[in-house]
């Protein structure tokens, strides 16, 4: 059995997928300037260029599962298209180019300028989300917490408290599954319809809260037994180092982002 079988948060690196080997902070710092500047651009070419770059990096550096492929191929483009069309309808026609009429229904017209503004907004948000996925799809929470403690010098009292909170999530899922199975065995809250579903969920609340309190008490006792918070710093069991490749990745991404912004210079519009 592998280590991932025992520890759901163990690092799993895919062969040939470089994003998993990078420091979590590097994957956050690299696209951060582009994400911030994309909020202020208004053209279509700039966010489209960053969207293409984000997709290329994800395809080369991330392990593509069926769910991730569906998100990249359907969810993000679909959301950008729907949002772009919606923003096109709501755009003030008096402030855009009205020389081209794309659609006319009665006295209402959808102009090419409004469509361009709306689609630029949709693609801009899609580019920001895609850049955020560089870290979101290839980083787990505990590694991010460890990196903030080790590189950003976040107090370990804050960081490892957050790490303990991450451990609660799979525990809650397991306990909820056990409670559901117990209710099915006892035939509690059977039936269909919204009222039966509401009764089932109401029956889950009390035992789930009781299990959460028990688990929190055990975690607190374990942390006290290890003298958590008694000293200003602690030794690290799992190291998440900052390597040369992290610096190279951040520098190359910043240079590429600056080159795109200088070449297109979207603030002239």
Nearest to 176 by CA among 147, 204, 197, 216: 204
DSSP string, 128-192: HHHHHHHHHTT--HHHHHHHHHHTS---HHHHHHHHHHHHHHHHHHHHHHHHHHHHHHHTTT-S-
Please state, in angstroms and rounded to a whole number, the distance separating the CA atoms of residues 143 and 146: 5
Cβ–Cβ < 8 Å for 259, 251: no
pLDDT in tens, the chain (269 residues): 344 444 444 454 544 589 999 999 999 999 999 999 999 988 899 999 999 999 999 999 998 889 999 999 999 999 999 999 998 888 877 788 778 888 888 877 888 888 888 999 999 999 999 999 999 999 888 888 889 988 988 888 888 888 787 778 788 888 888 888 887 777 766 667 676 677 777 778 888 888 888 888 888 888 888 787 777 777 777 889 999 999 999 999 999 999 999 998 876 54
Whether the model clears a pTM of 0.75, i.e. scores above it, the answer is yes
Cβ–Cβ < 8 Å for 103, 109: yes
Q: Taking the chain, what is the end-to-end CA distance rounded to the nearest angstrom? A: 59
Burial class (CB in 10 A: 0-12, 13-18, 19+), 151: middle
Rounding to the nearest 10 degrees, give the CA dihedral for residues 106, 110, 111, 112. Answer: -140
Tell me the domain boundaries of the chain: 14-144+242-268, 155-225
């Amino acid at each position: 059995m592998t280590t991932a079988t025992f520890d759901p948060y163990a690092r799993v690196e895919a062969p040939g997928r470089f994003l998993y080997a990078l420091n979590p902070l590097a994957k956050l710092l690299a696209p951060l300037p582009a994400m911030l500047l994309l909020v202020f651009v208004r053209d279509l070419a700039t966010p489209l260029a960053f969207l293409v770059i984000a997709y290329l990096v994800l395809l080369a550096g991330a392990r593509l599962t069926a769910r991730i492929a569906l998100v990249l191929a359907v969810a993000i483009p679909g959301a950008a298209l729907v949002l772009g069309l919606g923003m096109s309808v709501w755009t003030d026609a008096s402030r855009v180019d009205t020389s081209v009429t794309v659609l006319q229904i009665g006295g209402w017209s959808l102009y090419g300028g409004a469509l361009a503004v709306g689609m630029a907004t949709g693609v801009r948000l899609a580019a920001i989300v895609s850049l955020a996925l560089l870290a979101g799809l290839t980083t787990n929470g505990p590694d991010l917490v460890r990196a903030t403690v080790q590189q950003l010098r976040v107090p370990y009292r804050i960081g490892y408290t957050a790490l303990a909170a991450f451990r609660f999530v799979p525990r809650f899922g397991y306990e909820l599954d056990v409670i559901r199975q117990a209710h099915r065995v006892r035939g509690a809250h059977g039936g269909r319809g919204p009222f039966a579903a509401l009764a089932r969920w109401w029956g889950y609340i009390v035992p789930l809260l009781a299990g959460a309190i028990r688990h929190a008490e055990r975690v607190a006792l374990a942390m006290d037994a290890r003298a958590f918070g008694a000293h200003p710093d602690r030794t690290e069991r799992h190291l998440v180092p900052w390597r040369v490749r992290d610096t190279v990745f951040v520098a190359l991404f910043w240079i590429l982002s600056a080159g795109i912004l200088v070449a297109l210079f979207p603030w002239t519009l």
